[in-house]
Chains A and B, each alone.
Chain A
Amino acid sequence: MTLEQTPLNAAHRAMGAKMVDFGGWDMPLHYGSQLDEHHQVRRDAGMFDVSHMRVVDMRGEGVRDFLRYLLANNVDKLQSSGKALYSCLLRPDGGVIDDLIVYFMDEMWFRIVVNAGTADKDIAWMIEQATIRAPQLQITSRNDLAMIAVQGPNAAAKLWQALPEAQKLAEGLKPFNAVECNSMFIARTGYTGEDGFEIILPATAAPSFWQTLNNAGVKPIGLGARDTLRLEAGMNLYGHDMDETINPLEAGLAWTVDLVSERDFIGKAALVTKPKTRKLVGLVLQDRGVLRDHQVVHSDHGDGEITSGSFSPTLNQSIALARIPSAVQIGDMVQVAIRDKMLAAKVVKYPFVRNGKGLI
């Protein structure tokens, strides 16, 4: 099978990237050292090609009403143009179809950004639901767009250097807000726990903009560091920390589900009635070693499982997200089975790192 390529494929190769098959996409794992790239984002600024993610534009009368029913979070929280909201897309049984960011632009237009691996099933689900409830809506998969994330404490300063015309429009942007700037859509969002932007732009404009950012001192960062950065930031990864068999309340995402308002939404009835026996927590390994996905966690209240485990370059020790019995408390010690050993780990609140500083 031929791998899909983003508009920046040639740029990655020219920059010496080690390319890997990432869910059917030919993507950069690193450009030399994953650790150096991780620190680059925590200490300065880095850029990520996230063009494999999919932009979906939803337009038409009643788009807000439709999203109020489609999404677990409540789009009524979005009242000013450009405001963004993180939400899960749920099955009727409460399982997570995907997690996404939805932007309110105007009452005729909401923009949604979904994960690459789930994009096709997400769009099929959206169209299926719209056919029943809102057939007037236009749901468009924007395969003509690319997306570049610029992240780090110096991301803003370097972005203004690369894109002077955006400074006036975007420097006042608060987190989780976006603004249009000519053909670019600039959002103050990210997946690293640092300040930064995710910029959606025409695919044809992506290679030259990537080069301009590079000239401004924004270094390219691969998917390897993207994963350790998001794990330190305590952000869920679809397919690891949640999927269609897991509901958001057991994936640390209760804060994204609106069960307070009268509003009905797909999955609500299941979430209200389902017993919550497990929860997502942070783990910090007390011994040397590395926590990995699917390792078994033993607690006094029963077993659990690591959903995302790796080495934290910022903390210089191993950390993980784990789904464990609800009775386990923050501060408890648990045992993790690593090969033939049982190693001690402490249960902690996440995030582990924010704005360059360890919180553990």
Chain B
Amino acid sequence: MSNSNNLPGNLKYTASHEWVKKETDGTITVGITQHAQELLGDMVFVENPAVGRQLKAKEECAVVESVKAAADIYAPVTGVVVGVNSELGDAPEKINADPYSAWMFKMKPDNAADTDTLMDAAAYQTLVDSEAH
């Protein structure tokens, strides 16, 4: 089940299973990984942070709920929320269908370099593999 072989190489990853994409305008886009959606199962509810909210790295800022369980989503870096994917309110199952397209929220990091300290695909794959044992 945890064979998430095709991790996008252009993304960064957190130990709490968020993916992070650096955009050209200096913002980042955040979602949850294939591994995370597989563990949670069918999504039925997404609660995103308010636009404008200041977040500290690793702060709980959003929630996804599957039929099975609720899971907290953490801010990957320190910064401010600049956008949320409101489509997920009516269609949380998009996270199951395509977790790397179904983004959750966008942030403007206080320090652009913080994103670079997150895991790359290879490091995240190692983490996922170790959790499988």
Which residues in A have some Cβ–Cβ distance to B below 8 Å? 18, 29-30, 33-35, 224, 228, 288-290, 292, 310-311, 313, 339
Residues of B67-126 contacting chain A, CB below 8 A: 67-68, 70, 89, 93, 96
- Residue from B47, B63, B67 within 8 A of A35 (CB atoms): B67
Is B44 at the interface (CB under 8 A from chain A)?
yes
Give chain B residues whose Cβ lies under 8 Å from the Cβ of A339.
Answer: 63
B42→A290 contact, CB < 8 A: no
A34→B42 contact, CB < 8 A: yes
Assembled-state Cα–Cα distance A135/B67 (Å): 47
Given contacts A33-B42, A290-B45, contact A311 B67 (CB under 8 A): yes
A290→B44 contact, CB < 8 A: yes
Assembled-state Cα–Cα distance A228/B47 (Å): 22
- Tell me the minimal C-beta distance from B73 to chain A in angstroms: 12
- Tell me the minimal C-beta distance from B93 to chain A in angstroms: 8
A224→B45 contact, CB < 8 A: no
A288→B67 contact, CB < 8 A: no
Assembled-state Cα–Cα distance A34/B67 (Å): 8
Given contacts A34-B68, A289-B65, A313-B67, contact A224 B89 (CB under 8 A): no
Which residues in B have some Cβ–Cβ distance to A below 8 Å? 1, 41-42, 44-45, 47, 63, 65, 67-68, 70, 89, 93, 96
B41→A224 contact, CB < 8 A: yes
B68→A224 contact, CB < 8 A: yes
- Tell me the minimal C-beta distance from B76 to chain A in angstroms: 20
B1→A310 contact, CB < 8 A: no
Q: Give the one of A18, A30, A288 with max B CB within 10 A.
A: A288
Assembled-state Cα–Cα distance A35/B66 (Å): 10
Give chain B residues whose Cβ lies under 8 Å from the Cβ of A292.
Answer: 70
Assembled-state Cα–Cα distance A288/B42 (Å): 16
A34→B41 contact, CB < 8 A: yes
- Tell me the minimal C-beta distance from B65 to chain A in angstroms: 5
Assembled-state Cα–Cα distance A30/B96 (Å): 15
Given contacts A290-B65, A339-B63, contact A311 B41 (CB under 8 A): no
Give chain B residues whose Cβ lies under 8 Å from the Cβ of A313.
Answer: 67
- Residue from B41, B45, B65 within 8 A of A30 (CB atoms): B41
Give chain B residues whose Cβ lies under 8 Å from the Cβ of A288.
Answer: 45, 47, 89
A35→B42 contact, CB < 8 A: yes
A18-B1, A29-B68 are known contacts; what are 18 more A-B pairs with Cβ within 8 Å? A30-B41, A33-B41, A33-B42, A34-B67, A34-B68, A35-B93, A224-B41, A224-B68, A288-B45, A288-B47, A289-B45, A289-B47, A290-B44, A290-B65, A290-B70, A311-B45, A311-B65, A311-B67
Kindly report which residue of chain A lies nearest to residue B89, judged by CB atoms.
A288
Kindly report which residue of chain B lies nearest to residue A339, judged by CB atoms.
B63
Cβ-closest 5 pairs across A and B: A35-B42, A311-B44, A290-B65, A311-B67, A34-B67
Assembled-state Cα–Cα distance A82/B89 (Å): 50
Kindly report which residue of chain B lies nearest to residue A18, judged by CB atoms.
B1
Kindly report which residue of chain B lies nearest to residue A222, judged by CB atoms.
B41
Kindly report which residue of chain A lies nearest to residue B44, judged by CB atoms.
A311
- Tell me the minimal C-beta distance from A20 to chain B in angstroms: 10
Assembled-state Cα–Cα distance A286/B65 (Å): 17
Q: Provide a sorted-by-A list of 27 A–B residue pairs whose CB atoms are within 8 angstroms.
A: A18-B1, A29-B68, A30-B41, A33-B41, A33-B42, A33-B96, A34-B41, A34-B42, A34-B67, A34-B68, A35-B42, A35-B67, A224-B41, A224-B67, A224-B68, A228-B67, A288-B45, A288-B47, A288-B89, A289-B45, A290-B44, A290-B65, A290-B70, A311-B45, A311-B65, A313-B67, A339-B63
Give chain A residues whose Cβ lies under 8 Å from the Cβ of B65.
Answer: 289-290, 311
Assembled-state Cα–Cα distance A35/B96 (Å): 12
Assembled-state Cα–Cα distance A131/B122 (Å): 64
Give chain A residues whose Cβ lies under 8 Å from the Cβ of B47.
Answer: 288-289
Give chain B residues whose Cβ lies under 8 Å from the Cβ of A228.
Answer: 67
Give chain A residues whose Cβ lies under 8 Å from the Cβ of B67.
Answer: 34-35, 224, 228, 310-311, 313
Give chain B residues whose Cβ lies under 8 Å from the Cβ of A30.
Answer: 41
Give chain A residues whose Cβ lies under 8 Å from the Cβ of B68.
Answer: 29, 34, 224
Kindly report which residue of chain B lies nearest to residue A341, judged by CB atoms.
B47
